[in-house]
Amino acid sequence: MPRKNIPLIGLPADVFEKDGLLYHSIGDKYLRAVHDVARCAPVMIPSLGEEQDLDTLLDELDGVIMTGAISNVHPPHFGQEPTVAHEPFDHHRDATSLRLITKVLERAMPLFCICRGFQELNVAFGGTLATELQELDGHLDHRAPQSDDLDVRYGPVHEVAIRKGGPLHDVLGKTKTKVNTVHRQGIDRLAGGLTVEADAPDGVIEAVSIDNAKGFALGVQWHPEYKASENSDSVKLFEAFAQAARDFAAKQTRRAA
């Protein structure tokens, strides 16, 4: 008998404080993309930090999506001093996500990193981040358009050039596409072990793959999860991730038999 019919996909929680209490949460758009497009079951990974037994949790999962967030990775994790420009922070997520990425890859489990998750991936591999890209010479303004209309804020803004023959090209089947842009920070020094799969016209890295990965292992700076079912690129990305999760689940089932 199969271990499960629907792959279980873990997503790390963001932590915020209200009235003196801490809350763990995940944006609905990520859960909808996993449920509605990938046709998998989303599972929250609480951000409990160093005390958390991630291995026991990962034993039950078939893939992980590192989500975007309002917060940024705390600069000491990549060798810099924190400033107001780097805020806001989420130390609980940092303490969970950087460990989580390493453990997921050790298992050759499918991994899809989005926005903050994309930046976490670079930091986990030893890379650095740049803040306030719009203030750097020769850079576009990568922040979201100023609008109360979410379709405008998450609408496509600039093109990215996709590396021909790479895993992102294999999934999307094209060498350029137009993406949304909702970030202030970005990759500064690319970590060893990562390969650039797409970049913006100003040279900002927009997608990476993990060298020698045994399965789906991609990160993107944009937000494919927003109304994913209405965007053909997003559908391809989440469907490819879902197939990798099913394949991973099937291998786990065979090992347990």
List active site positions: 115, 223, 225
- The answer to whether 231 and 197 have CB atoms below 8 angstroms apart is no
Q: Are 97 and 120 in contact (CB under 8 A)?
A: yes
Query: Nearest CA to 120 among 14, 198, 251?
Result: 14
- Segment (H or E) for 246: helix 232-256
Helix, strand, coil fractions of the chain, as percent rounded to 5: 35, 25, 40
With beta carbons less than 8 A apart as the criterion, state whether 11 and 65 touch: yes
Residue entry with tokens 């099913």: 246
Strands in 115-169 per DSSP E: 129-130, 158-162
- CA 234 to CA 18: how far, in whole Å? 33
Q: Phi then psi for 208, rounded to 5 degrees?
A: -140, 160
Q: Would you call 18 helix, strand, or coil by DSSP?
A: strand
Would you list the DSSP string of 45-114? E---GGG--HHHHHTT-SEEEE---SSB--GGGGT----GGG--B-HHHHHHHHHHHHHHHHTT--EEEE
